[in-house]
Structure 1
Amino acid sequence: MSSNAAMAEAASLVGDPARASMLNALMDGRALTATELAGVAGITAQTASGHLAKLSAAGLLAVERQGRHRYHRLATPAVARMLEAIMLVAGSLPPPAQPRRIGPADAAMRNARTCYDHLAGRLGVAIAEAMAARGQVELAPDGGAVTAAGVAFLEGFGIASQAEGSRRAFCRPCLDWSERRHHLAGGLGAALCTRCFELGWVKRVPQSRTVLVTRAGEAGLRQAFGIEFGG
């Protein structure tokens, strides 16, 4: 298949509102059943199964079997990056003649959310900028690196083992669709996200990519990164 045809196929698959809803629900890195994804999209389980089969056949989703259940997840981080890029472009388009009212859920998602396996929104950007300001990471549009100071910080933060190896591949900036600034992706972003969950600094909002900063998180973020971030 030519690159143009492949791009058109991927765009058509993501362009369906129900499929877009299901893909967005998987952006937090979890694996969900067809029934769960049907509920997210507001469609029947039978219709969801048809959509999921198309997404899997195209390589956008991976399927895992566990007992009687089949779980669907995004096939690769590249799929998540594609979806985040589409959100970035969509967020920059002119608003409709009658703008949709932005409710509390949308504000919370812009505040803090997961982007596949890393933190995004104001929280993700704040962490990235704090680490850059302290000289712990060096970020550029085309890549990033963890410095010696960053390695020392990560060791104290409990994720030093994940800083070993190729630091260029480990640290990657990702342009945040709502903040229009960079948050941290790649292995570093995933490690920081996992550690924040382990410490109880953030907690998930059910059936959403939104995360909330806890009281412990407010204190921890202040101490570790020097940022004020109310939940």
Structure 2
Amino acid sequence: MSANPNIAKVAALIGDTSRVAMLVSLLGGKAMPASELARTARISPQTASTHLAKMVEGGLLVHETYGRHKYFRLASSEVGHALEALQAIAPVKPVKSLRESEQMNALHFARTCYDHLAGKIGVALTDRLLELGLIEESGKDYVLREAGKKRLQDFGVDVEQNPKSRRFFARKCLDWSERRHHLAGSLGAALTRRLFELGWIEHFPDGRAVRLTDAGIKGLFDEFGVCLQDEVVQKQS
């Protein structure tokens, strides 16, 4: 870590409406082509290309080339973590349409924050892991207890920490919609991958909102005691 981080440089990169729109659209962890990011930000492809180049140079994004197209994604989980934290302290923008309201409700209920689960479901699952004594709080992180290691291994989650990885293992991430913490880091990502593998959660076709399936409602209750039936009914009513 830099002894004297240049916060102003990063703030200047993020502090543009078009760049923010592109960064937030990438918070789901997927790579997106420049043309789609331009449409998301409602700017021309040429203008988007200039913004994207600056964010790559500034370390916020990385890109891969497939044929004639470049696909962009967040450079690291730390970038996603920082964006989520900024959303938690940012003032709420007014909702201007029914579609925006529905999209916002879906994001509040469940979404991916880079590669881990966030929103009401992410916080509820983290709370249950704490209540069951599978993880415990330790400063800015969570600690996986022995009982939690066995329980999650049996559930099919990779709980081995890579000593060579620079990524945090079980990080607290402040949830911008719930204003509480959910589980991030490589452990949060591994748990989220397992939920996708089981078909308990599914991505909506567009954006980073996540749908909780019927199997997920039952599975989360049976496995961890997370009761979300009432919230799902309320959300759909």
Q: What TM-score, normalized to structure 1?
A: 0.89
Tell me the distance in 1 between the aligned counterparts of 2:192 and 2:125: 10
Kindly report structure 1 stretches of 4+ aligned residues shifted beyond 2 Å: 66-69, 99-102, 161-166
Amino acid at match of 1:224: E
Deviation at 1:141, TM superposition (A): 3.8
Distance 1:155 1:57 in 2: 39
| Cα distance change, pair 217–53 in 1 and its aligned pair in 2 (3 A) | same
1:125 aligns with one of 123, 127, 134 = 123
Which range is displaced more, 102-111 or 177-186?
102-111
SS of residue paired to 2:159? helix
CA contact (8 A) 1:113 1:209 kept: yes
- Over 3 Å counting, the alpha-carbon distance change for 1:138 and 1:70 in structure 2 is same
More helix per residue? 1
- What corresponds to 2:226 in structure 1? 227
- Amino acid aligned to 1:187: S
The alpha carbon displacement at 1:9 in A equals: 2.1
Equivalent-residue separation in structure 2 for 1:151 and 1:38 (angstroms)? 43
Q: Percent identity?
A: 45
2:64 alignment partner, SS class: strand
Contiguous gaps of at least 5 residues in structure 2: 233-237
State the Cα deviation string for residues 40-93 of structure 1 (Å, max 9, x = none).
111121111111011111111111122332111111111111111110110xx4
Counterpart of 1:155 in structure 2 is 153
Is residue 82 of structure 1 aligned with residue 79 of structure 2?
no
How much has 1:10 moved relative to structure 2? Answer: 1.3
Unaligned runs of 5+ in 1: none
The AA in structure 2 aligned to 1:38 is A
Of the structure 1 ranges 75-84 and 62-71, higher mean CA displacement relative to structure 2 is found in 62-71
Are the aligned partners of 2:149 and 2:159 in contact in 1 as well (CA < 8 Å)? Answer: no
The one-letter amino acid of 2:137's match is L
Verify the 8 A CA contact 2:115 2:189 in the aligned structure 1: yes
1:38 alignment partner in structure 2: 38
TM-score, L = length of structure 2 = 0.87
Instruction: Measure, in 2, the Cα distance between the counterparts of 1:151 and 1:63.
Output: 35
Amino acid paired to 1:104: E
- Per-residue deviation, 1:169: 4.2
Deviations 1:101-121 (A, max 9, x none): 671211110111100010001
The residue type paired with residue 163 of structure 1 is E
Displacement of 1:164: 4.7
Q: Does 1:193 align with 2:196?
A: no
Q: C-alpha separation between the residues in 1 aligned to 2:171 and 2:53?
A: 32
Q: Is the 8 A contact 1:163 1:170 kept in 2?
A: no
Provide the secondary structure at the position in 1 that maps to 2:89: helix
Give the CA RMSD over aligned residues. Answer: 2.2
1:27-176 equivalences in 2 (<5 Å): 27-90=27-90, 93=91, 99-100=94-95, 103-159=101-157, 161-164=158-161, 169-176=168-175
CA distance in structure 1 between the partners assigned to 2:218 and 2:17 by the alignment? 40
The DSSP-based 3-state class of the residue aligned with 1:27 is coil
Taking the aligned partners of 2:223 and 2:68, their CA distance within structure 1 comes to 43
Kept after mapping to 2: 8 A contact 1:154/1:163: no
SS at match of 1:178: coil
Residue-by-residue CA offset, 1:187-230 (whole Å, 9 max, x unaligned): 11000111111111111122311101011111111111111224
The number of residue pairs the alignment matches comes to: 223
